[in-house]
Chains A and B, each alone.
Chain A
Amino acid sequence: MVENRPFLTFLAHAVLILGVAFVALPVWIAFVASTHDQSTFLSGSMPMWPGDNIWETYGTILGTGAPVPGAPPLTLMLKNSLVMALIITVGKIAISILSAFAIVYFRFPGRVLIFCLIFVTLMLPVEVRIMPTFKVVADLGMLNSYAGLSIPLIASATATFLFRQFFLTIPEELVEAARIDGAGPMKFFRDMVLPLSQTNIAALFVILFIYGWNQYLWPMLITTDEKFYTVVMGIKRMSDVADSDPQWNFVMGSAMLAMLPPVLVVIFMQRLFVKGLVEQEK
């Protein structure tokens, strides 16, 4: 559309600015809250500009942890979250790309059945199967461990399905050319499928990392040891104190820091993602 109407331009910008404000304002308020001390927040009037308490707030939550029972230092929780999210992401991608490869490129008995089974599990989120899963993990002695935090979340029907759809778009002739060039199945996987899937892997990495990072219910269930608390459940614990007012400056500070890694992943992966999109040709 090539149109030049000042009013439309103005309208478009107004809508966009409004949209940005909707999304960004709560984040700004959270940041402002984390820079004031406890009493300012509870006085009833919320300041719109950062205060001078910023170093104290972030120093405390990163160093010793908020003065709330069951809130270990944020650095530990950030590390736990990071480890969990990375294991989930890498595990999900590795398993789903291999299973999609098997489903698309190999003819074995029950192939369709297996694909259907994987597809059906798309409809079952963790929450539905949480009791049996907990039982299995508990019996295997994986409570309070990184393995317990991540392994049950690794199987991914969505990613398998996405990879399958992508593999189906790789031209048959490419597969045949590789066969004539003497590439066996695993060589074909390494030399063709992996490099061609780069873009998909980057996109899935972003989505799955955020999925892993935001896990709340599962870590809550299987960790009782503070050493394995993740940052999302940590925030919940801080705001959920029994006999006193929650210390909002610490809660908001933690929330700000918890937001950082996913943001970094998005920014960094976005580049790879776009680069992949631009380089790919069909």
Chain B
Amino acid sequence: MAGIKLSAVKKIYPGAAEPAVKGVDLDIQDGEFVVLVGPSGCGKSTLLRMIAGLETVSDGEIAIGDKVVNQMEPAERDIAMVFQNYALYPHMSVRQNMSYGLKNRKMPKAEIARRIDEAAAVLEITPYLDRKPRALSGGQRQRVAMGRAIVRDPAAFLFDEPLSNLDAKLRLHMRGEIKQLHQRLKTTSVYVTHDQLEAMTLADRLVVLNHGRIEQVGRPLDLYRRPASTFVAGFLGAPAMNLIEAEVSGGALMLAGTALARGLQAEAGRVTAGIRPEALRLRPAPGGNFRLDYVEELGGSRIVHGHIGAQRIIAQTDLAQELSAEMHAELPLEELHLFHATEGHRLSMGVSQPAAADPQLVGA
């Protein structure tokens, strides 16, 4: 077990107009579960593959534990990787798949057998040990792929979108299993995904990447509560945060002539306002600023689509909420996020906003 330290890591593909990764610094603690998340093309997979040693590092330094690994082969880096397409060896049985890496490291047979039995028991794949991968379902293959990583007992696990080939239900289930597995093994893990929900639920620490740069690093709830830029704000949370063009004047957030929130201590001028759909307070009011367009039922709650002035806004309400064609929309000040209108970075509003609290377990 070991931490991973990235210092000014860059990746420049020959012939590419701009670097795929533009100088990333990241310090991953021993035992931490870090999720790299971002839209496709943001460099998250490239970054992971550089840690794995499958891509060369153009500039900067990667250290696993206290060894700089830039020049090491993947096999020498003491990491194990779980691939999106499982990458199981199709002509080998599950047992052979899991033992292949250990055999190549000249581990004694008895030790290999012990580790495989142990990992198979944890992952509940013992009955399939002698089957070939093609006789397994997607979820079982994913378990085998994880088993292959676990038996290695590496310094770090690297996950490259491991759940994206599974159907929604299985994905949810495997997500839980990965979380439990990490709690049990406490092995440093780096996990790449483009699914913000997966990222939020799994991460100890979340790294949001955009265009080869880190946008923000932090605990998932901190990022959700205090996104550092419009990019992070729009990326985390479903339904996504409303990002609307508005104006601050006289300590109020003005939108289409009505005040959405009051009491701001921010500089007057144009801003981008970020409003979580669940933060918007609606009440039926004839002639109100919010015009209702249509409603989506989620079962436990509703998503209300409408507009204020010319800008589309969505709100998430509970079922008790009364709806009408014209409503009054308002926002508690502490739920408002302000961003620079053109640069997109977060603006201070002069109100203290509570940092995210850790989930409190009763009796823990």
- What per-residue 1/0 map shows which CB atoms of B49-66 lie under 8 Å from chain A? 000111000000000000
Are the C-beta atoms of A181 and B101 separated by less than 8 Å? yes
B233 close to A (CB within 8 Å): no
Known: A173-B83, A281-B134. A179 touches B90 (CB 8 A): no
Are the C-beta atoms of B134 and A174 separated by less than 8 Å? no
Known: A180-B80, A181-B101, A182-B104. A174 touches B89 (CB 8 A): yes
Q: Would you mind naming 24 contact pairs between A and B with Cβ atoms under 8 Å apart? A: A173-B83, A173-B85, A174-B89, A176-B54, A176-B74, A177-B87, A177-B88, A177-B89, A177-B148, A179-B73, A179-B74, A180-B52, A180-B80, A180-B81, A180-B101, A181-B100, A181-B101, A181-B104, A182-B105, A196-B90, A198-B91, A279-B132, A279-B134, A281-B133
- What per-residue 1/0 map shows which CB atoms of A161-175 lie under 8 Å from chain B? 000000000010110
Q: Which residues of A contact B132 (CB under 8 A)?
A: 279
Q: Which residues of A contact B54 (CB under 8 A)?
A: 176, 179-180
Task: Give the size range of A's interface with the partner.
Answer: 20 to 34
A111 close to B (CB within 8 Å): no
Instruction: Report the interface size for chain B: residues with CB under 8 A from the other chain.
Output: 25
- What per-residue 1/0 map shows which CB atoms of B32-74 lie under 8 Å from chain A? 0000000000000000000011100000000000000000011
In the complex, what distance in Å separates the CA atom of A179 from the CA atom of B75? 6
A125 close to B (CB within 8 Å): no
- Among B53, B54, B90, max chain A CB count under 10 A is at B90
Q: Which residue of B lies closest to A191 (CB)?
A: B100
Are the C-beta atoms of B81 and A195 separated by less than 8 Å? no
CB distance from B105 to the nearest CB of A (A): 6
A192 close to B (CB within 8 Å): yes
Residues 245-282 of A contacting B (Cβ, < 8 Å): 279-281
Q: Which residues of A contact B249 (CB under 8 A)?
A: none
In the complex, what distance in Å separates the CA atom of A174 from the CA atom of B80? 14
- What per-residue 1/0 map shows which CB atoms of B339-352 lie under 8 Å from chain A? 00000000000000
A13 close to B (CB within 8 Å): no
Q: Which residue of A lies closest to B80 (CB)?
A: A180
Q: Which of B84, B104, B105 contacts A173 (CB 8 A)?
A: B84
A187 close to B (CB within 8 Å): yes
Are the C-beta atoms of A196 and B101 separated by less than 8 Å? no
A183 close to B (CB within 8 Å): yes
Q: Which of A176, A182, A191 contacts B87 (CB 8 A)?
A: A176
B79 close to A (CB within 8 Å): yes
Are the C-beta atoms of B101 and A171 separated by less than 8 Å? no
Are the C-beta atoms of A177 and B81 separated by less than 8 Å? yes
CB distance from B230 to the nearest CB of A (A): 35
- What per-residue 1/0 map shows which CB atoms of B141-166 lie under 8 Å from chain A? 00000001000000000000000000
